[in-house]
């Protein structure tokens, strides 16, 4: 099996394990940060590989379709980690598009691939996602709701990239007298 197919299978496996532990809520945002450089064993931002973005896009799209999620693909630091999403998602969440188009060396291979293959993509500055995946330490935390909860899966890397998956939960406020929904 070649590396691209292996990485695709690893992604499918960890998304499946994630959904077993925290069933995604339909109509919510799932943020994706992905360093294709890290996957191929290079330093983040130095060796973007478009074919890796292409290979991983399919499983992510299938996951989003299965659970009725909105995907948001985080770009790299050269576009301030702005996110590529579908226009209807931006409208639903009242997000203003910005004037940038992701490119492999200014946005990253994953967000560039997503931009070129979504139905009507736009880029927004920020979002408050309910869950997400970070492949290669791209720092998606800035786009998650405030209380992130890590999810552990049997797959800890894709290629050479460290993978972190998180969901979020509402803040617990009120102290010891408060009651909380389970």
Helix 3-21, helix 50-67: angle, nearest 10: 30
Mean pLDDT by 10 residues, the chain (182 residues): 92 97 96 93 81 95 98 92 97 97 91 96 97 96 95 95 96 81 74
Q: Is the pTM of this model over 0.85?
A: yes
The contacts of residue 12 (CB under 8 Å, 6+ apart) are: 59
DSSP 35-88: -HHHHTTS-TTS---HHHHHHHHHHHHHHHHHHT-EEEEE--GGGTT-EEEEHH
Return the pLDDT at 113.
96
User: Domains of the chain (ranges plus CATH)?
Assistant: 3-13+27-169 (3.40.50.10360)
Return the pLDDT at 45.
75
Return the pLDDT at 1.
66
Tell me the residue length of the chain.
182
Return the pLDDT at 38.
92
Return the pLDDT at 41.
84
- The first and second tokens of residue 27, run together, are 């109509």
DSSP 100-167: ---BTTBB-HHHHHHHHHSSSEEEES---BSEEEEESS--GGGGB-SSEEEE--S--EETTEEEEEEE
Q: Find the helix or strand (DSSP H, E) in which 32 lies.
A: strand 29-34
């Amino acid at each position: 099996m070649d590396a691209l197919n292996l990485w695709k299978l690893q992604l499918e496996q960890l998304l499946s394990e994630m959904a077993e532990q925290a069933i995604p809520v339909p109509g919510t945002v799932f943020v994706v940060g992905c360093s294709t450089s890290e996957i191929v064993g290079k330093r983040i931002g130095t060796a973007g590989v478009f074919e890796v973005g292409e290979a991983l896009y399919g499983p992510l799209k299938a996951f989003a379709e299965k659970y009725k999620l909105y995907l948001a693909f985080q770009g790299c630091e050269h576009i301030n980690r702005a996110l590529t999403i579908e226009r209807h998602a931006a409208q639903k969440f009242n997000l203003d598009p910005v004037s940038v188009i992701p490119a492999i060396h200014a946005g990253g291979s994953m967000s560039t691939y997503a931009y070129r293959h979504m139905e009507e993509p736009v880029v927004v500055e920020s979002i408050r996602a309910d869950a997400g995946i970070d492949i290669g330490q791209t720092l998606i935390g800035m786009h998650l709701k405030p209380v992130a909860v890590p999810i552990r899966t049997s797959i800890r890397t894709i290629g050479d990239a460290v993978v972190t998956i998180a969901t979020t939960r509402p803040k617990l406020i009120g102290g010891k007298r408060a009651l909380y929904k389970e």
